[in-house]
Amino acid sequence: MANKAKKILVTGAAGYIGSHTLVELIHNGYELVSIDNLSNSYASAFEGVKAITGVQVKNYLIDLCDLAALRKVFKEEEKIDGIIHFAAKKYVNESVKFPLLYYHNNLESLINVLQCCAEFEVPNLVFSSSCSVYGNAEHLPVDENCPLALPESPYAQTKVIGEQIIQDFVQVNRLKVSLLRYFNPAGAHSSGHLGERPKQEALNIVPRITGAAMGKLPVFQVAGHDYPTRDGTCIRDYIHVSDIAQAHTLALEWLIKQEDASLCEVFNLGTGEGHSVLEMINAFEKANQIQLNYSLEARRAGDVVAIYADNTKAKNVLHWQPRHSLEEMMRSAWEWEKNLQNKNFD
Ligand SMILES: NC(=O)c1ccc[n+]([C@@H]2O[C@H](COP(=O)([O-])OP(=O)(O)OC[C@H]3O[C@@H](n4cnc5c(N)ncnc54)[C@H](O)[C@@H]3O)[C@@H](O)[C@H]2O)c1
């Protein structure tokens, strides 16, 4: 395979999307090294990756906000061909309560990564952005040219500013970048070895649905039922995490092939379909033959009403095609939840 010798540094690799992406990268012949301070994840993610691929990924347990420690990793690893930068804090409502924590962690870590790209001549970078940069978009589905709205939360603001920092950086540095705007990743690896296992309480809808079904939460609370949507609940574009993971290898391959020394391209990663919270509950119940105990509650701060992707660009340019259905997403998430109960994790 042509890309066999390429060494990729994955930050936040023990996290939900990072760990699934390690599997895809290994299957595509990349050599990997990880940086994760395990602030929102466990080293068991690397065991899951090993169980699927047979490969033990080396992790540097450092904080990306520590530039001296980061430089040491680059010196030790020598030539790095690309970076996938997942590491960030990601909870909208936590960011509303603790904005400085988010600006500090998400932006300082990005600035340090870019600093090392310049110092150690790393040619390729994939950055985890989010559909939250679109805010309450005026037109749906949103494509990449949709003007960025006023972000609804400090978390979203860190993605908007992060994208801007990268755009400014590539004007004066040799770096090829894919900014991937994820919609709502959900589901788990089909093997049952990987899934979402945050240290903090899971706040995304699917782990909260499975958590309520498992009895870890007394009830699944629907946050807001008076939105101007078809059933009053928020609409999102849920995309299987393995489809998101695959898009990273395609984005990396695409970057490596580009002849320009500097570029920055944005891609939406979503299915193109929006589902309401009540439709998600229904999909979970149908896929797993379980009745969910849920309640209709007040809105949360920072939530947009409805958003789903125009994914034409990722399909045409990266040749990416989401493959997993909503049913597979709900089934794999439930299998993972059951595994979490049964496995003896560290
Ligand atoms: N999951 C989603 O719904 C979603 C949606 C859109 C965008 N994103 C973005 O995708 C990326 C990955 O998300 P995820 O769901 O895998 O999150 P995650 O919390 O599971 O993974 C992030 C990882 O980064 C690590 N990390 C955070 N700050 C660090 C630091 N300063 N130094 C070293 N390690 C650090 C954490 O320990 C964690 O393992 C994030 O940038 C997130 O903002 C996620």
- 109 class by beta-carbon count within 10 Å (0-12 exposed, 13-18 middle, 19+ buried): buried
Q: How confident is the model at residue 251 (pLDDT cuts 50, 70, 90)?
A: very high
Range of the domain at 281: 7-342
pTM: 0.96
Distance between Cα 290 and ligand 1 center (Å): 30
**E strand or H helix that includes residue 297:** strand 294-297
For CA atoms 86, 88, 91, 93, the dihedral sign is: negative
Atom of ligand 1 nearest to the CA of 108: 31
Any idea what the Cα angle at residue 105 is, between residues 99 and 106, rounded to 5°?
90
pLDDT of residue 153: 87
Residue 127, H or E segment: strand 124-130
Pair 4, 14: CB distance under 8 Å: no
Q: Which residues contact 320 (CB under 8 A, 6 or more apart)?
A: 243, 246, 247, 250, 269, 311, 314
Residue 1 falls inside a structural domain = no
Ligand 1: distance of its center to the CA of 36 in Å? 10
The CB of 111 under 6 Å from ligand 1? The reply is no
Report the nearest atom of ligand 1 relative to the CA of 65. Answer: 31
Listed in sequence order, the residues at least 6 apart from 279 whose beta carbon sits closer than 8 Å to its beta carbon are 231
Query: How many CB atoms are closer than 10 A to CB 59?
Result: 19
Domain for residue 84, yes or no?
yes
Query: What is the token pair recorded at 329?
Result: 């997403």
- Give the residue, out of 9, 10, 11, 16, with the most ligand 1 atoms within 8 A of its beta carbon, to mutate for a pocket test: 16
Any atom of ligand 1 within 6 Å of the Cβ of 130: yes
90 within domain boundaries: yes
* Total residues found in the chain within this entry: 346
Asked if residue 304 has pLDDT above 90, the reply is: no
Determine the residue type at 120. Answer: F
- Band (116; pLDDT cuts 50, 70, 90): very high
Percent of the chain predicted with pLDDT > 90 = 88
Q: Does a structural domain hold residue 163?
A: yes
Mean pLDDT over 32-36 rounds to: 98
Residue tagged active-site, from 16, 30, 60, 155: 155
Residue 149: band (very low, low, confident or very high) from pLDDT cuts 50, 70, 90: confident
| Residue from 35, 41, 59, 90 whose mutation best tests the ligand 1 pocket (most atoms within 8 A of CB) | 90
Residue 2, domain member (yes or no):
no
In this predicted structure, the answer to whether residue 207 has a pLDDT above a threshold of 50 is: yes
The overall average pLDDT reported for the chain is 95
CATH number of the domain within which 260 lies? 3.40.50.720
Q: Is a pLDDT exceeding 70 seen at residue 4?
A: no
CB 332 within 8 A of CB 189: yes
Q: What is the pLDDT of residues 80-109, one digit of tens each?
A: 999 999 999 999 889 999 999 999 999 999
Quote the distance between the C-alpha of residue 129 and its chain's center.
8
Helix (H) or strand (E) holding 58: strand 58-60
**Are residues 31 and 5 in contact, defined by beta-carbon separation less than 8 angstroms?**
yes
Question: Which atom of ligand 1 is found nearest the CA of 109?
Answer: 31
Cα distances from 182 to residues 51, 216, 323, in angstroms, run 27, 28, 16
Lowest pLDDT segment from 88-92, 166-170, 311-315:
88-92
Given a cut of 70, is residue 346 above it in pLDDT?
A: no
Number of domains in the chain: 1
Note if 155 is an active site residue: yes
Residue 3 has pLDDT above 50, yes or no: no
First to last CA, the chain: 36
Residue 310 has pLDDT above 90, yes or no: yes
Q: pLDDT per residue over 268-294, tens digit each?
A: 999 999 999 999 999 999 999 999 999
| 42 domain-assigned | yes
Q: Mean pLDDT over residues 322-338, rounded?
A: 97
